């Protein structure tokens, strides 16, 4: 039996697709079984390394804002993931690996091994990509990271934003009026 050119192309396409899907499943299934970093419940050593690099790239401490406090943020994000649904855990962790693998494909190096300028360009490329699903996936990852950064104790005061009563130096002067 001889194969026509069309049959060869169709079978080759299916075989290539099957290999890609199989490779992706093997690649990302392994992180689900990896043991968490000592002191954490969810994130592995590799994921913590990637998360540290992403945090320091997104929140370097510029223009009056404090840098990302890794001692505060890593446990806070890990605790959030631990108390969240399994899909959120898996997707966030997978996104960290995708960020790292993306850098491997386009820069031939892990994200954590890139210089800070290239890391910033890589994050910016994720933010500006015209591919909707890629942008949406990164935004969801950035949302989790950003909401924990906003909880970092020194961030809101640096922004001049306070919960509850504002500090005395920010209260408006008392001018009298009704009820005084």
Residue 6 lies in a domain: no
Q: Give the domain extent around 147.
A: 35-156
Residue 29 lies in a domain: no
Let me know: does 76 contact 145? Beta carbons within 8 Å: no
Q: Domain total for the chain? A: 1
Those residues whose C-beta lies under 8 Å from the C-beta of residue 43, and which sit 6 or more positions away, are 36, 37, 51, 74, 77, 78, 81, 93
**Regions in the chain scoring below 70 on pLDDT:** 1, 14-15, 17-32, 164-180
What SS3 class is residue 89?
A: helix
Let me know: does 107 contact 122? Beta carbons within 8 Å: yes
pLDDT of residue 171: 61
Tokens of 19: 């290999």
pLDDT of residue 160: 81
- CA angle, residues 93, 41, 126, in degrees to nearest 5: 20
Residue 170 lies in a domain: no
pLDDT of residue 66: 96
Residue 171 lies in a domain: no
Those residues whose C-beta lies under 8 Å from the C-beta of residue 44, and which sit 6 or more positions away, are 31, 34, 35, 36, 37
pLDDT of residue 4: 85
Residue 2 lies in a domain: no
Residue 120 lies in a domain: yes
**pTM recorded for the entire structure:** 0.76
Residue 7 lies in a domain: no
Those residues whose C-beta lies under 8 Å from the C-beta of residue 9, and which sit 6 or more positions away, are none
pLDDT of residue 169: 66
Residue 99 lies in a domain: yes
Please return the burial class of 126, using the count of CB atoms within 10 Å of its CB with bins 0-12, 13-18 and 19+.
Answer: buried
């Amino acid at each position: 039996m001889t194969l026509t050119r069309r049959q060869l192309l169709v079978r080759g396409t299916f075989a290539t697709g099957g290999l890609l899907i199989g490779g992706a499943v093997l690649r990302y299934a392994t992180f689900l079984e990896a043991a968490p970093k000592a002191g954490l419940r969810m994130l592995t050593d590799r994921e913590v390394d990637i998360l540290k690099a992403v945090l320091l790239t997104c929140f370097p401490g510029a223009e009056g804002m404090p840098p990302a406090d890794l001692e505060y943020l890593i446990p806070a994000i890990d605790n959030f993931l631990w108390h969240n649904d399994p899909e959120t855990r898996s997707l966030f962790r997978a996104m960290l690996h995708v960020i790292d693998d993306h850098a491997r494909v386009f820069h031939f190096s892990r994200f954590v091994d890139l210089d800070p300028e290239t890391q910033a360009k890589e994050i910016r490329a994720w933010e500006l990509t015209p591919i909707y699903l890629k942008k949406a996936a990164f935004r969801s990852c950035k949302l989790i990271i950003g909401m924990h950064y906003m909880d970092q104790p020194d961030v809101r005061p640096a922004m001049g934003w306070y919960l509850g009563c504002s500090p005395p130096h920010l209260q408006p002067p008392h001018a009298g009026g009704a009820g005084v």
